[in-house]
Amino acid sequence: MTNKILKQLEDAGFESYAVGGCVRDELLNRVNFDVDITTSARPDEIKEVFKDYKIIDIGAKFGTIKVLDEDSEYEITTMRRESGYSDKRHPEKIAFTDDIKEDLKRRDFTINAMAKRNDQIIDLFDGKKDLKDKIIRAVGDPNERIKEDVLRSLRAVRFATTLNFDISDDLKTAIRNNAESIEEISKERIQVELNKILLADEPRRGILLLDEVGLLEYIFPEVFATKGFDQHSSFHSENLYDHTLSVLEKTPPILEVRMAALYHDVGKIDTFFLDENGEGRFFGHQSLSEELLVERLKKLKYSRKFIENTSILVKRHMDNTNTYTKKSVRKLLRNIGEENLLNLFKLQRADVMSTKHADDSNIDLGLALLDEIKNDDIPTNKSQIKINGNDLKKLGFKEGKELGRTLENIENLIYDEKLKNNKEDIINYINSYLLNVD
């Protein structure tokens, strides 16, 4: 399909190339759903060529038009030169060009600065060699590339993490020298890169790289603070930072679980004390960890729902220190929902398997009990209770606190399997024990 789009541009007289990530991923035999095309056509000319398609003007002043063809999307950008990056993110001046070499010179990394036309790859900066050597290297002067767009610092870490590449020493130095500037970048753009790092096959390596290039202390300062912290605990052989990374690497690629793994113990530092036996104690650390997580995720502009679900995992990650029972699992299911409960079990398993006494039998028990609960006829939420406030009013209860307490009492009895969930039994209970009706 890409060839069809390119051919239309070429047939209209415009030199056109597949460029960037789609060329890189083709050489790596990776699937890429984002197809970028660069062309000598100007924005108005691109619109004219594709006037019979649905098009979206996503940045004509920067030369970019999106073309939609059936289920595929193509970002088509006029070849250009750029200069002036006073906000450390966007160019102040853009000049369109007909020279592919000029366009490739403005790109971030050599592996992203290749173009393809008529099966011929234009590779001015040895991108193919860097793919073979598995290294992320800047196009030209790495310090200039990072100063132009500081988000490239995070992109370098993201590519190194997701591709399992190294970052060249000079690029690492440039990132480190400009690390503090990451705070000036849009939090939404930072979030996108962080999510890709955390969802990579080796998220631990991503965090280690963030630390190595000096970004961790600005992006996740609460995690950075755990470095070298001795837990003085007979349950842990690692310091707090290394334990956190151990938990992270044992989690499945679910963003809420991995973010929770990063933050589940950050509250330990400020709740730490030694007991009479010299054992480290951290009473209430999960609540403080939750507070610190919520504050950080708000700053990084995560959605309200994501923050809510992730904070539940952090707040409840110590629940498995008590043996799970049907009652406790049912209560958790009611309070946090099945998806969060399953994610909680995943976090807890990773946590306990990162201690000296690795024993996840209680997690297995919790999962088995959850299956039992899902297969029995006991309600898991209020909407399934066979009586409501209107029914109680008909029995003589008045609107107010007494009615609410009665409903709650009935719900708890049903949840605890002390009262059957059918209207007749519930009314009999009310008449016999609450209204004293003979």
CA distance 70 to 77: 20
The confidence score (pLDDT) of residue 86 equals: 54
pLDDT of residue 211: 98
Q: Report the pLDDT value the prediction gives residue 31, as an integer from 0 to 100.
A: 81
**Residue 213 contacts residue 170 (beta carbons within 8 Å):** no
Say whether pLDDT at 84 is over 60.
Answer: no
Among the ranges given (18-27, 55-64, 358-367), the one the predictor scored with the smallest mean pLDDT:
55-64
DSSP 124-169: TT-HHHHHHHTEE-BSS-HHHHHHH-THHHHHHHHHHHHHT-EE-H
pLDDT at 60 (0 to 100): 64
Q: How far is C-alpha 323 from the chain's CA centre?
A: 30
User: In terms of pLDDT, which residue wins out, 92 or 22?
Assistant: 22
pLDDT of residue 261: 98
Taken as a whole, the chain contains a residue count of: 438
Contacts (Cβ under 8 Å, ≥6 apart) of 22: 2, 32, 34, 35, 36
Q: How deeply is 53 buried, as exposed, middle or buried, from its count of CB atoms within 10 A (0-12, 13-18, 19+)?
A: middle
Model pLDDT for residues 132-182, shown as the tens digit of each residue: 999 999 999 999 999 999 999 999 999 999 999 999 999 999 999 999 999
- What's 376's DSSP letter? S
Distances, alpha carbon 206 to alpha carbons 39, 192, 370, in Å: 35, 14, 34
pLDDT of residue 193: 97
| Proportion of the chain above pLDDT 90, given as a percent | 66
The pLDDT, as a whole number, for residue 81 is 85
Q: Averaged over 393-397, what is the pLDDT?
A: 81
pLDDT tens for residues 17-34? 999 999 999 999 988 777
174: how many CB neighbours lie within 10 A of its CB? Answer: 24
- Does position 116 have pLDDT exceeding 50, yes or no? yes
* Nearest-angstrom CA–CA distance, 202 and 233: 27
The predicted structure's pLDDT at residue 13? 94
Alpha helices in 264-360 (DSSP H): 268-271, 285-299, 304-315, 326-336, 338-352
Contact at 8 Å (CB) between 89 and 186? Answer: yes
What is the separation of C-alpha 224 from the centre of its chain, rounded to a whole number of angstroms?
18
* 3-class DSSP state of 218: helix
CA–CA gap between residue 98 and residue 39 (Å, rounded): 8
Rounded to whole angstroms, the Cα distance separating 363 from 304 reads 28
Best-predicted range by mean pLDDT among 44-48, 63-67, 218-222? 218-222
Q: Kindly give the pairing relationship between strand 135-136 and strand 72-78.
A: unpaired
Using pLDDT thresholds of 50, 70 and 90, give the confidence band for residue 414: confident
For the residues 181-205, what does the mean pLDDT come to?
Answer: 96
* Residue 59 pLDDT > 80: no
- Going by C-alpha positions, the residue among 404, 434, 403, 401 that lies closest to residue 419 is 434
What pLDDT is recorded for position 14?
Answer: 95
Rounded (10°) CA dihedral 348, 349, 351, 355 = 140
Residues 6+ apart with CB under 8 A from 166: 134, 135, 136, 160
Q: Is 369 helix (H, G, I), strand (E, B) or coil?
A: helix
pLDDT at 90: 61
SS3 274: strand
Cα Rg, the chain, nearest whole Å: 29
Whether the pLDDT of residue 438 is over 80: the answer is no
Q: H or E segment at 58?
A: strand 54-59
Taking residues 309-318, report their average pLDDT: 97
* End-to-end Cα distance, the chain: 79
Q: CB neighbours of 64 closer than 8 A, spacing ≥ 6?
A: 43, 58, 75, 76, 77, 78
pLDDT of 375 over the 90 cut:
no
What is d(CA 36, CA 27) in angstroms, rounded to the nearest whole number?
15
Per-residue pLDDT tens over the stretch 244-266: 999 999 999 999 999 999 999 99
Over residues 339-354, the pLDDT tens digits come to 999 999 999 999 999 9
Crossing angle of helices 304-315 and 285-299, rounded to 10°: 160
Residue 391 predicted with pLDDT over 50: yes
**Predicted local distance difference test score (pLDDT) of residue 424:** 82
The HSE-up count of residue 189 (CA atoms within 13 Å, CB side) is 14
Q: Specify whether the CB–CB gap between 389 and 407 falls below 8 A.
A: yes
pTM: 0.87
Per-residue pLDDT, 171 = 98
